[in-house]
Structures are given as C-alpha cells and as structure tokens.
A and B are shown apart, each in its own frame.
Chain A
C-alpha cells in the first residue's frame, strides 16, 4: 500500500513494518517513461519511409552540411511575379 504525502516524500506501509522513503527517492511515475498514444507521436515532419531506411542517422554529417544552404528568392523577384499576376488576373 502506498500513501502519498507530497511529491518528494511518501510513506509505504509494508505488512507490519513502516518504511519512510527519503526525498531522493521518487515514485515510479515520476522517473519512468510516460505512456503515449499513437496519436501523440508527431510524424508530420518525418518521412517514415526515410526513417525506416535509417538515412538520416547514417548520413547525419552530410545532411547537416546540406542544411547550411537555404536559397531564397530576392524580394524584387517575388514582387515582379506578383505584379505580373495582378496584370493577368
């Protein structure tokens, strides 16, 4: 039987004996992995097929390097495009 006093200390009564747990010991629920449902696992940004092949873990050095470049269009390019579209539509 477990009797909770607060988050840090609690008392366990085992059969006839009474055993005081010190504050460094915590209930299992605070140190163990929480159960999560399938819906709670975020997979939107992950390609499961790629993940299954282990590409990201095997080639993390090359992939980190690829992330160093991020080409973006110049602002005037987008502005020109939008003005062209406004003329067409």
Chain B
C-alpha cells in the first residue's frame, strides 16, 4: 500500500486523485471523531469538509512535514476547527450543542440486518451515544480519539496538549463513568 506521505507528494506534483485516495482512506476516522464530538449532524458535516479543505491548503502551503502520522495531523486540524467553532458559539452566546438531536446512524452494520435487528441496534447505539455525550468534554475527547479515530495515547496527548499520563487518566475516568452509566441505565449489548 502506498504511504500517506507518498500520496501527498504525488498530490503536490499534480496528481489530484492521490488526495482523493487519502480522503477515502481516512474519512471514517475523521468523521467519527467530529460527529461524536458535535451532535449536530449538519455542523459535523461542515466541519468534516472544512477539515479536508484546510488540510489541502496546508499541504499546498508546505506546512505538512512527514513524521509518519498524517492522520494524527489531520485530527489536530479537526480538533482546532471544533475548538474554533465552540469559541465562536461562546462569543455569540446563543446556541447550545445540547439543543440538537442527532441521528447519525450511518453505520455499516445496518445494511445487512433486518428491521427488528436494526431497531435493536439503533436503540443500543443511541444509548452508547448518550453515554458518550454525558462524559465531561476532556474525557469524551480522549475516548473518541482513541476508539474511533484510532490514535495512540502519545498522539492524543500531543493533540490535546496534555501529558500521556493525563490522557490515560482521563480515559480511565471516562471508562469508569461509562461503566457506571451502563449499570445505572442497564445498557448492554443485548437490549433489555
């Protein structure tokens, strides 16, 4: 498989399709991070697009230096765009992220199951999303970056500007909190 850096170099040289390959390679991770962090689907889609557009601008401006972690760099850009968004919201002091009820169930799994299975899965997934959304922001971010964006703790620590131990501690608290919610709300892989 061609490396991310090789694709970027080819894109810079004029092979436009190489960037499209990069998008297809990483879109799920980037989208998962943004959509789980921001519950408003329309906004999540905007930030998803803005992230890749910003990536292009930065690559073209020669701001990407290869260290073998292209996806980590993309996630940092997405992270910054999310932070910028919340800063703007805070300044405007109008809209709360909680006002939106998302329906982000574009899961691969749904395509293959029957209606009943889908309903059960939707309910479980809704519970899991609620569980994640109830976490404090710093804990939620670590969970999403680790489990949905697939970043290592070192990368997460870099992106969130904390030490690896802090990131691990946040993950631990997040998992403890989620387990508590699981028990309280009786959430499990089978619908009760």
A38 within 8 Å of B (CB atoms): no
Q: Is B52 an interface residue (CB 8 A)?
A: yes
Residue among B106, B152, B154 making CB contact with A73, cutoff 8 Å: B106
Chain B residues with CB under 8 Å of A88's CB are: 53, 56
| Cβ B20 vs Cβ A82 within 8 A | yes
Contact of B35 among A49, A65, A71, A85 (CB under 8 A): A71
Query: Which one of B19, B31, B152 contacts A71 once the chains associate, using CB atoms below 8 Å?
Result: B31
Interface size class of chain A, counting residues whose CB lies under 8 Å from the partner chain: 20 to 34
**Pairs A–B under 8 Å by Cβ, sample size 27:** A49-B164, A49-B168, A53-B168, A55-B171, A62-B175, A62-B178, A65-B182, A66-B132, A66-B147, A70-B28, A70-B32, A70-B109, A71-B31, A71-B32, A71-B35, A71-B106, A72-B106, A73-B28, A74-B106, A77-B45, A77-B48, A78-B24, A82-B23, A85-B52, A85-B56, A89-B16, A89-B56
* Chain A residues within CB distance 8 Å of chain B: 47, 49-50, 53, 55, 58-59, 61-74, 77-78, 80-82, 84-86, 88-89
